[in-house]
Structure 1
Amino acid sequence: MIIEIRHYTYYPSEFRPFLKYYEEEGFSITSRHLGETVGIMTGISGIANRTFQFFAYKSYEHRLECRKGFLQDPVKQNFTSVADKAIIQQESILIEPTKFSPLFGEKSEKPLMKKEDGSLRYFDLTTFHVKSGRRQEVLDLLEKKLLPLYKKYLSYEVGYFTRHYGETDAVLAMWGFDSEQQRMDQMKELENDPEYQKESTKLYALINGRESQMLQPTTYSPLR
């Protein structure tokens, strides 16, 4: 299983109109062709006017077949012409779930995709910029030491992933929260735990830094 994360940055004047257009027309097109839609979200930290789209595929070959069907769809032409006028920049990264990832991993406990009351959560997508050649050490530390602490303090685990193109040593984590304030409070509790302080010291010796992107799902995002 692989997941493609598509980042799009839009012209400020086009951002809201395009979101509306995508909900009404674009979502049905991409959902029809681009594997399994996992999430459609907007960035609420870092660079403004961005969306993050998550599509899952059974394999790299499956992704190529899906893209071929997408490119051949006549409706796609109009969609592309509208998108091209709105988008400043786009980037695609491919990630694979770790065996201990709740989302698409080998764990029997799967992530909560949506809340029963219909309320939207907030998601933290964190990238650990791992030092060259140290990725397996980071994965072992996450699985054996840090995951129990994340589970203890953070509301919703979504997944843990690796990259195989671009920054190939990077490790990504995704967690969900009921609010931005809850994230701040729970992260503070986590960071004050003596066991976490000990294990995170080991982690920081293996990475060059970490970067977090806060995401807010759309009302039609499967993961919300």
Structure 2
Amino acid sequence: MLLDVRTYRTKPGKLNAQIALYEKHGRAAQVRHLGEPVVWATTETGTVNTYLHIWAYQDAADRSKRRAAMQADPEWQEFLKISGEAGYLEHQQNSLMIPAAFAPIKR
């Protein structure tokens, strides 16, 4: 299993606006192609104005295939356009990780 951990930071005061924008314009397309996330959460402590989501894939080929399908989806492209025009995001980081054998992800 491959985990795609995606962390985003918004401009101060824009976290809720970015989440609402995603929920209205991007979530359906993303879930349609990637399935439900393992985690979708906002920061309680630490770096403020931050949210993350974690997606599970069988392997790198599965990730590439599903993300390519999402990128080709006009609804996802429209979300990216709207999100870019809103300008709420400051930073994005993603890490690909493999769960330890003693702590498998249960779906």
- Report the TM-score, using the length of structure 2 for normalisation: 0.87
Structure 2: 5+ residue runs without aligned partners? none
Equivalent position of 1:89 in the other structure = 91
Correspondence for 1:101 = 103
Residue aligned with 2:46, SS: coil
The answer on whether the counterparts of 2:21 and 2:83 sit within 8 Å (CA) in structure 1 is no
The 8 Å contact of residues 14 and 88 in structure 2, kept in 1 or not, is answered as yes
Q: Does 1:29 align with 2:32?
A: no
Q: Which residue of 2 aligns with 1:4?
A: 4
Alpha-carbon displacement from aligned partner over 1:32-86 (angstroms, at most 9, x marks no partner): 1225511110011221111110100011000000111111111112211232222
Q: Larger radius of gyration, structure 1 or 2?
A: 1
- Does the CA-based 8 Å contact 1:30-1:70 persist in structure 2? yes
Report the Cα offset of residue 25 of structure 1: 3.0
Contact 1:40–1:53 under 8 Å retained in 2: yes
Q: Is residue 26–residue 75 contact of structure 2 (8 Å, CA) maintained in 1?
A: no
Distance in 1 between residues matched to 2:50 and 2:31, nearest whole Å: 19
1:52 partner amino acid: L
SS in 2 for 1:8: strand
Letter in 2 for 1:56: A
Partner SS state of residue 97, structure 1: coil
Matched-pair contact (CA < 8 Å) for 2:5–2:95: yes
**Equivalent residue pairs, number:** 105
- % identity of equivalent residues: 28
| Counterpart residue identity of residue 25, structure 2 | E
- What CA distance in whole angstroms lies between the structure 2 residues aligned with 1:95 and 1:79? 26
What is the Cα-based RMSD across aligned positions, in Å?
1.7
Which blocks of at least 5 consecutive residues in structure 1 are unaligned? 105-109, 111-224
The ranges of structure 1 where at least 4 consecutive aligned residues each deviate by more than 6 angstroms after the TM superposition are none
Taking the aligned partners of 2:70 and 2:104, their CA distance within structure 1 comes to 29
Higher relative contact order (CA 8 A, sep 6+): 2
